[in-house]
Each structure stands twice: as structure tokens, then as C-alpha cells.
Amino acid sequence: MTTRLKGKVAFISGGGTGIGAATALRFAEEGAIVVLCGRRSEPLEQVVAQIIGNGGRAEAVQADVSNEAQYSGAIEAAAQRHGKLDILVNNAMAYTWGGITETSTEQWHANFATSVDGTFWGTRAAMKLMQKNGGSIINLSSICGTLGTPGMAGYSAAKAAIINFSRAAAAEGAAHGIRVNSVIPAVVETPATAGMLSDDATRKGTEKLIPMGRVGQPEELANAILFLASDEASYITGAALPVDGGRSAVLVTAL
């Protein structure tokens, strides 16, 4: 265990699986007290048990990020228990599939409730708590928020909103020492992409579009998030960092 986040209190939404779980483990390795938030308690408790088993400090909080009172309340209560909040990672997301003409208004709104509303509620709560001592907020976007994706218009719009919201939050928070950045993954091997990547043809087709020739791993995203959360990124705010194996750098690649 090293100490890049020693003494820091970090709150991570969607912390039970995928990128959130990998980030929680990485933060704990670096000495942070980690609060994991999600709708399902079982995966959260599994990650907490792993962190404690490795000698770290963590706790699980069951809350629905798409519920303003639950999510804001969970962040505020965590800060009260631990005396402060230094880091917030807005990682939880939800999405719907379907063409625009087949998408209902309810399905459209479902893309925003967790990803955009939750990110706003979490950022607002964190900025209030960080007014005195500063802090770091990292919001998870997606390559779908920078490139058009057929069948995912709602998700793409929501993830695009997160990028520019983070820039505005960075501009407001800078005077108080609050840094706000976004991370932009492409395809990462998580439970959310397991179905797609289990098909060999689809996986190979996806990997051909990535200059590095492979999908990302949650730990690789966690390392980027760790950097932005740490004091090593003390002069970085308002950035939108692609962590995508070069996918967003190319218009097209030969197949």
C-alpha cells in the first residue's frame, strides 16, 4: 500500500462493479478512506470486504443515484461521519437502446436521471462540502458523448452533457480549490459490456476499431481517475481525458 491519497475521504457512485469497483480498490491501495455507493448492497459489500482484507478502509452505502434526496443525503452523511469529503467520483450510469423514432419520452429521460441528474446532484453536494478545503471531482463520461452512436442517442446526449457540465463546474469551483474533470472511456471490459464482448465476432470487430487493438480494462480507467483525484493533478481542472486506446483519435482505421 502506498500513500498518494493518504488521509483523503473519497465517495464513489456505482462502486460495486466495473470501473467504480476498480477505482475503489485503487483508491484504497493509495490510503484513501473509500465510501462506495450503489443500488445493490451485495456487490458493494464484496468490494468493501476485499478492501478491508487488503488492509484498507472502506464502507458501503446503499442509495439510488437517480434519487436526489438519497444520493445527496448519502454524500452529506459520509462527509459528516468522516469529518470531510476530499474526492467524489460520479461513475454511476444508466442507458437505453433504440433508434430515435422508436424511443419513447420515458426512455429518453431514463438516460439522464442517473448520468446527468445524478452527476449534478453529486457535484452540487460535493462542492458545498469542499468550499473550505478544496477537493477533486471526477465525472465519468463516454466516447458516446463525443462521437455519434446509432441506437444510443439518449445515452450519447447524456454523456455529452456531463463533459460540458464538468467544464462549467470547474470554472465555478476553481476559486475554492475544487477541481472538476471528466474521464472519457471507450469500450471497457465490465459487466455492462459482457454481453457484447462475449460474442467473438463482435469483440474482434470492436478491437479492430481501436488503434491499440484491444478493449480497455477497468484498472486502466481507475489509474487515470486516481491521477486526477491526486495532488499530482493539482493544476488540472476542466479537462476531458480520453482513456480509450486511441479510439477517439482516429476518424477511421483499415479493417
| Residue whose grid cell is 464502507 | 59
- Report CA dihedral (163, 180, 30, 33) to the nearest 10 degrees: -110
Q: What is the rounded distance in angstroms from the CA atom of residue 6 to the CA atom of residue 17?
A: 23
- The DSSP annotation for the chain comes to ---TTTT-EEEEETTTSHHHHHHHHHHHHTT-EEEEEES-HHHHHHHHHHHHHTT-EEEEEE--TTSHHHHHHHHHHHHHHHS---EEEE-------B-GGG--HHHHHHHHIIIIIIHHHHHHHHHHHTTTT-EEEEEE--GGGTS--TTBHHHHHHHHHHHHHHHHHHHHHGGGTEEEEEEEE-SB-SGGGHHHHTSHHHHHHHHHTSTTSS-B-HHHHHHHHHHHHSGGGTT--S-EEEESTTGGG-S----
In the annotation, is 155 catalytic? yes
| Residue whose grid cell is 465517495 | 11
- Which is the catalytic residue, given 71, 95, 155, 235? 155
Query: Known catalytic residues?
Result: 155
